[in-house]
Amino acid sequence: MLNRRMLLKTAGAFACSAAAHPFLTTVTLAGSDGGQPLGDHRLVVIILRGAMDGLDVVQPRGDGAYAGLRPTLAQPDAADLDGFFALHSGLGGLMPLWQAGQLGFVHATSTPYRDKRSHFSGQDQLEAGTGMDLPASQVRDGWLNRMLQAVPGVRAETAFAVGNEEMKLLHGPAAVREWAPDTRLDLSPQAQLLLEHVYHDDPLFLAAASDAFALGGDPDMMMDDSPAGALKGARLDDVDKLVRFAADRLREDTRIAAFSLSGWDTHKGQGKGLGRALMRLERAILQMQKGLGAEVWGKTTVLAMTEFGRTARENGTVGTDHGTGGVMLVAGGAIRGGKVYGDWPGLDEAALYDRRDLMPTSDVRQWAAHAMQGMFGLDRAVLEGAVFPGLQMGASPGLIL
């Protein structure tokens, strides 16, 4: 019989990076005492693990170079946002939020991380919130935890933990608690395809593997026994569990929630893989809005960010490789949405970073810092000195109402 623990470990080795496809998604929450030092606003941070392709999610259709770089991936049915940018159909369900001014995007943004394009290092840099002058490996806490350290009277909120995965951006001396749904096997489309080829000629192992996937994840996540079989399911039930737990607490004393969604590493067959990932992100945002209710949603800011973007040009397998500049999604009733923020650098070859990637024109930390300043009234000196050491926030972009 197949040892389930061994299968989980073996399957993880096939993935492009375990950092891009963690087996466990954790919700981390932080609350405040009766004095409400963080006020009445709520902040939700979603880490999109695996490097989301911002050029596919928010497509610069008005840039003359885009169609040539993306002859296959450019979607004819993408929803127009502002006459220049268009939204991938996988997030089409969010258009009412865009029209209501409760959804926006920041394009051509990134962390200070450059060149090596490692999921592990990129995510560490994103969650540490430091510049390249202070490597993430030398930092013991994350930027959200440092923000909590700067606010008096903060306490941990109701907590449950299953498994070992943690949100590093909330790791540190400030007390926080963690909860996670049941452990599951969560693989990228590339890892799933590889497992098919490894298993499909061995009926006994294939059957055992299918049983393990049924036990380790969503019941729909099964392997067909046909040569063309594939792992199936967008695991929307998992998203619902995460969001329901977070929303229930955010309606009460909790002020900050953070969780991650994986599946963004789309080296091959990006059309299908990205569509599934966007379905889960769309579900998370809509379920959060529903779970919070109109009053609390009106005081909420959601920031969805990824470790880096992907190459400007699609590759030979109709996917994209690790890049630099990408997109941040912002949502909630507390934001000034209906806008694509950021300075657009252009997609001509000379304008690309290293002549291959979207050139970053802003730092994701700036947007997070301005969001926290606008929501919680934090002093700029605290944000630039303690929360994001060495950051220059610049002028307010007016992101928060």
Give the pLDDT confidence of 269-278 residue by residue, as tens digits.
999 999 999 9
Return the exposure string of 238-248: e unless at least 16 CB atoms fall within 10 Å of the residue's CB, then b: bbebbbbbbbe
**Pick from 14-23, 30-39, 68-77, 311-320: least confident:** 14-23
Instruction: Name the residue with higher pLDDT: 187 or 119.
Output: 119
- The answer to whether 159 and 245 have CB atoms below 8 angstroms apart is no
Domain 24-185+236-387 CATH assignment equals 3.30.40:
no
Residue 180 — very low, low, confident or very high, per pLDDT cuts 50/70/90? Answer: low
**Pick from 19-23, 36-40, 293-297: least confident:** 19-23
Instruction: Name the residue with higher pLDDT: 330 or 193.
Output: 330
Residue 138 — very low, low, confident or very high, per pLDDT cuts 50/70/90? Answer: confident
Q: Which residues pair with 327 in a beta bridge?
A: 107
Mean pLDDT of 354-378: 97
Per cent of the chain over pLDDT 90 is 58
Q: Which residues pair with 257 in a beta bridge?
A: 29, 44
Angstrom distances, CA of residue 4 to CA of 12, 65, 164, 213, 401: 12, 48, 17, 9, 49
- The answer to whether 43 and 147 have CB atoms below 8 angstroms apart is no
Q: What is the pLDDT of residue 203?
A: 58
Residue 177 — very low, low, confident or very high, per pLDDT cuts 50/70/90? Answer: confident
Residue 38 — very low, low, confident or very high, per pLDDT cuts 50/70/90? Answer: confident
In 262-316, beta strands by DSSP E: 300-306
Q: What is the pLDDT of residue 2?
A: 40
Q: What is the pLDDT of residue 272?
A: 92
18 Cβ contact list (under 8 Å, min separation 6): 12
Q: What is the pLDDT of residue 19?
A: 55
- How many helices (H) and strands (E) the chain has is answered by 12, 13
Give the whole-angstrom CA distance, residue 101 versus residue 87: 15
Q: What is the mean pLDDT of the chain?
A: 82
In 2-101, beta strands by DSSP E: 27-32, 42-48, 58-60, 79-80, 85-87
**Both tokens assigned to 118:** 């490692």
Mean pLDDT of 330-347: 98
161 Cβ contact list (under 8 Å, min separation 6): 26, 177, 178, 179, 180
- Three-class SS state of 261: strand
Residue 190 — very low, low, confident or very high, per pLDDT cuts 50/70/90? Answer: low
Measured from the Cβ of residue 24, the count of other Cβ atoms closer than 10 Å reads: 18
Q: What is the pLDDT of residue 28?
A: 73
Residue 199 — very low, low, confident or very high, per pLDDT cuts 50/70/90? Answer: low
Residue 329 — very low, low, confident or very high, per pLDDT cuts 50/70/90? Answer: very high
Q: Answer whether residue 160 shows pLDDT above 60.
A: no
SS (H, E, C) 187-222: CCHHHHHHHHHHHCCCHHHHHHHHHHHHHHCCCCCC
Q: What is the pLDDT of residue 357?
A: 98
Give the whole-angstrom CA distance, residue 361 versus residue 54: 14
Mean pLDDT of 373-381: 94
Per cent of the chain over pLDDT 70 is 75
Chain segment 14-26, per-residue pLDDT in tens: 445 445 544 345 6
Torsions phi, psi of 301, nearest 5? -120, 130
**Both tokens assigned to 220:** 């729909």
Residue 229 — very low, low, confident or very high, per pLDDT cuts 50/70/90? Answer: very low
Q: Answer whether residue 290 shows pLDDT above 90.
A: yes
